[in-house]
Amino acid sequence: MSIIKLSKPFNSKYKQTITDMVIDEIKSKSELNIRQDPSFESGFNLPFNEKWLLFDFGHHLNRLREYHDSRQLRYHDDGQRVYALGFKDGIKYWDNEEIDILMNTLNKILANNNFN
């Protein structure tokens, strides 16, 4: 699975707080339609847009896309500390600009707050 390590791991009990802060910050400064991922792991998702719906990932990955209505990055933790975000099914459906916006915002929030 493809993962993106966080600059500073945080206590899992703060997932909701951090997710809300990141989404509010991103929505206030960009047009990225980011949402909370409703999965057990939580995290972030973006709806599929025309760019991704038209892109051909090959038969296997195109079939997986039939079951998802969004592009997901989910939290990875060890039961107590969140240390990374991972792409759902290992599919990198986020472009570099989207990842940069998310990770810069998330890492800034983690650096400026104590979520131990």
Average pLDDT (56-60) is 63
Residue among 15, 6, 25 nearest 85 (CA): 6
Phi, psi of 94 (to 5 degrees): -105, 140
pLDDT in tens, 72-87: 899 999 999 999 999 8
Residue among 62, 72, 63 nearest 19 (CA): 72
**What whole-number distance in Å separates Cα of residue 72 and Cα of residue 42?**
9
Q: What is the pLDDT of residue 60?
A: 59
Longest dimension (CA), the chain: 44
Burial of 99 (0-12, 13-18, 19+ CB in 10 A): middle
Q: What is the pLDDT of residue 47?
A: 83
Percent of the chain beyond pLDDT 90? 65
Residue with tokens 């989404």: 23
**What whole-number distance in Å separates Cα of residue 95 and Cα of residue 21?**
22
